[in-house]
Amino acid sequence: MENAHCNLAIDTHKFSIIELASFVDLTPWHRFGYTAANAAILEAVEGYLVIHIVDLSLTHCMQIPTLVDAIANRFEVPPLIKLTVAGATEDVPPLLDLSYEELGSKLVNFARSRNIIMEFRVIPSSYADGFSSFIEQLRVQHLVYAESGEALVINCHMMLHYIPEETLSGIPSTNSNTYSYESSSSSMSFRTMFLKSLRSLDPTLVVLVDEDADLTSNNLVCRLRSAFNYLWIPYDTVDTFLPRGSRQRQWYEADICWKIENVIAHEGPQRVERLEPKCRWIQRMRNANFRGISFADDAISEVKTMLDEHAAGWGLKKEDDDIVLTWKGHNVVFASAWLPA
């Protein structure tokens, strides 16, 4: 598959680590998921001496330093942290200006500064085939190298909607992939196979955070309407935290333009922005034999405290076991936590 941004006219910025960390802190768009996920992870891994975190994150592990810091403060005996990330071969914003190996070195050094030993591993992979090579490597790593009493946490932050879903037809079948062990490859989308693969790893916890919108329709008019009804939100919020003409605002708006252009101007495998609403992801998780769990009161309190640092338009609501970030009452991002059923 060609790089997702290869034919796009939008020039997206490549962030340094410091720039990206500052960028994601400007708004709750990502911080909401970080805060909720970290609180759920801390609760799930209590008492484990080895914590294996599989980070499928759009924002290049920006969540991890805060999690490491929280673990260092909470655990009397610092656990060993194994961090495995998917080194996606496609580029989608935000882009980083250093390699995953360099990123890993920085994270390992940060963990060491908090008296925690971290092992970092990057597995080259592609969302175009549902991270199949990534899953297979995880399977080997977990079955062969997992230590006794190891917690396995799968952290999915705004990455799963890049995996092809049912409306993407014409995926080449000649491509050998490691999902061949599944009983039905023709009737299952890569998203379904990916979630069933995660379940087979029997994780301690899966956290799923994503944007709450539906951009999967093959009908351009329907997709345009859905995009309009959702993507006004990042434009409406920007005046609350970035002045007009600033460099950061240009970067922010370029990333939104990238998304809009991908949704509207592309079809087939090149249209990678295929958001699904929360209700559909919940059904997918249940079908993959996961059961949802509620976020603890402490987690919700932490999210509310974080939101107090931002503009008054941001809000939080609870929907069954999940929590949802809102802007002026409109759903923006959802966070959910899952255990094997």
The answer to whether the beta carbons of residues 127 and 88 sit under 8 Å apart is yes
Task: Name residue 57's beta-bridge partners.
Answer: 157
pLDDT higher than threshold 50 for residue 6: no
Token duo for residue 76? 């009397």
pLDDT higher than threshold 70 for residue 1: no
- 249: confidence class by pLDDT, cuts 50, 70, 90: very high
Q: Give the mean model confidence (pLDDT) for residues 91-111.
A: 95
Residues 157-200 have pLDDT tens digits of 999 999 999 877 544 443 444 443 333 344 689 999 999 999 99
pLDDT at 88: 78
Model pTM? 0.92
Q: Give the mean model confidence (pLDDT) for residues 257-281.
A: 95
Residues 30-70 have pLDDT tens digits of 999 999 999 999 999 999 999 999 999 999 999 999 999 99
Side-chain-side CA neighbours of 279 within 13 Å: the count stands at: 3
How would you label 148-163 residue by residue, b for 16+ Cβ within 10 Å and e otherwise? eebbbbbbbbbbbbbb
Q: pLDDT above 90 covers what percent of the chain?
A: 84
- The mean-pLDDT minimum among 19-23, 73-77, 98-102, 181-185 falls in 181-185
pLDDT at 166: 83
- 90: confidence class by pLDDT, cuts 50, 70, 90: confident
pLDDT higher than threshold 60 for residue 237: yes
Q: Show Cβ contacts of residue 235 under 8 Å, excluding neighbours closer than 6 positions.
A: 253, 256
The answer to whether the beta carbons of residues 25 and 198 sit under 8 Å apart is no
For the chain, what is the mean pLDDT? 90
pLDDT higher than threshold 60 for residue 269: yes
Q: Is 187 helix (H, G, I), strand (E, B) or coil?
A: coil
- The mean-pLDDT minimum among 86-90, 277-281, 305-309 falls in 86-90
Fold of 14-340: Rossmann fold (3.40.50)
Alpha-carbon span 231 to 228, nearest angstrom: 6
Alpha-carbon span 291 to 175, nearest angstrom: 32
pLDDT higher than threshold 70 for residue 82: yes
Q: Is 30 helix (H, G, I), strand (E, B) or coil?
A: helix
- 5: confidence class by pLDDT, cuts 50, 70, 90: very low
Q: Measured over all CA atoms, what is the biggest interatomic distance in the chain, rounded to whole angstroms?
A: 56
Token duo for residue 61? 């592990």
pLDDT higher than threshold 60 for residue 310: yes
Q: State how beta strands 95-96 and 14-15 pair.
A: parallel
Alpha-carbon span 125 to 51, nearest angstrom: 22
Q: pLDDT above 70 covers what percent of the chain?
A: 91
Q: Give the mean model confidence (pLDDT) for residues 119-129.
A: 94
DSSP state of 335: E
Q: Give the mean model confidence (pLDDT) for residues 247-251.
A: 94
Higher-scoring residue by pLDDT: 235, 145 = 235
Token duo for residue 216? 């999967």
pLDDT higher than threshold 80 for residue 321: yes
